[in-house]
C-alpha cells in the first residue's frame, strides 16, 4: 500500500534516482537539512511493504509573490506583495515513472497547500517548472504562467479547490 510521509532519517535517500541530478542531490544532501532549519518540508511516497525505499518526493515552502508578475486579470486582485505556498521540488524514481506516482504526489502537495490556505492565508500555489515538458505537466492541473517568465507558474486558490474536489 502506498503512503506519503514526512522525510525521515530511516528513508533510503542514497539510492533514489529520478534521472535529474539536481533533484537527486537535493534529496540526498539538502532536504533533511532544510527541513531541520524550517526552510522547506519534504514528503516521500513509500510502499508499506518497503517503507525505507523512496518512490517519489515533493518539497513545499512558503513564498512571497509580486502581484504585478501574475497574469493581468489576477494581478489587480491582490496587494503588491502577497503570500503563497510553493512546490519547490517534485520527483519520481526512474523505476516508478509513468505509473501515476507523480499525480499522487501532486494531489497530496495541493492538499497540503490548501490546508495552509485554510489556516493562515495564501493567494495560491506556485511552482517553477524546469522546462517546457514540466510546464505542460503543470498546466494539466490548472497552473498558469507568469507574464514575463512562462516557466514560473501559479495556481489560484479557486482552481486549487476545484482540482482537489475533482480528485476526491
- As annotated, the active-site residues are 138
Query: Order of strands across the sheet with 124-128?
Result: 2-6, 41-47, 56-66, 81-92, 124-128, 152-156, 144-145
Amino acid at each position: 500500500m502506498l503512503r506519503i510521509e514526512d522525510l525521515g532519517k530511516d528513508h533510503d535517500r542514497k539510492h533514489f534516482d529520478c534521472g535529474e541530478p539536481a533533484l537527486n542531490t537535493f534529496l540526498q544532501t539538502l532536504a533533511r537539512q532544510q527541513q531541520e532549519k524550517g526552510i522547506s518540508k519534504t514528503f516521500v511516497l513509500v510502499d508499506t511493504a518497503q517503507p525505507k525505499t523512496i518512490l517519489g518526493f515533493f518539497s513545499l515552502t512558503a513564498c512571497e509573490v509580486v502581484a504585478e508578475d501574475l497574469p493581468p486579470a489576477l494581478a489587480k486582485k491582490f496587494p503588491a506583495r502577497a503570500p503563497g505556498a510553493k512546490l519547490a521540488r517534485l520527483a519520481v524514481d526512474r523505476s516508478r515513472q509513468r505509473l501515476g506516482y507523480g499525480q499522487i504526489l501532486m494531489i497530496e502537495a495541493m492538499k497540503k497547500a490548501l490546508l495552509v490556505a485554510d489556516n493562515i492565508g495564501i493567494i495560491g500555489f506556485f511552482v517553477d517548472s524546469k522546462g517546457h515538458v514540466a510546464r505542460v505537466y503543470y498546466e494539466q492541473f490548472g497552473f498558469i504562467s507568469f507574464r514575463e517568465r512562462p516557466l514560473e507558474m501559479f495556481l489560484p486558490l479557486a482552481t486549487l479547490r476545484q482540482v482537489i474536489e475533482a480528485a476526491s
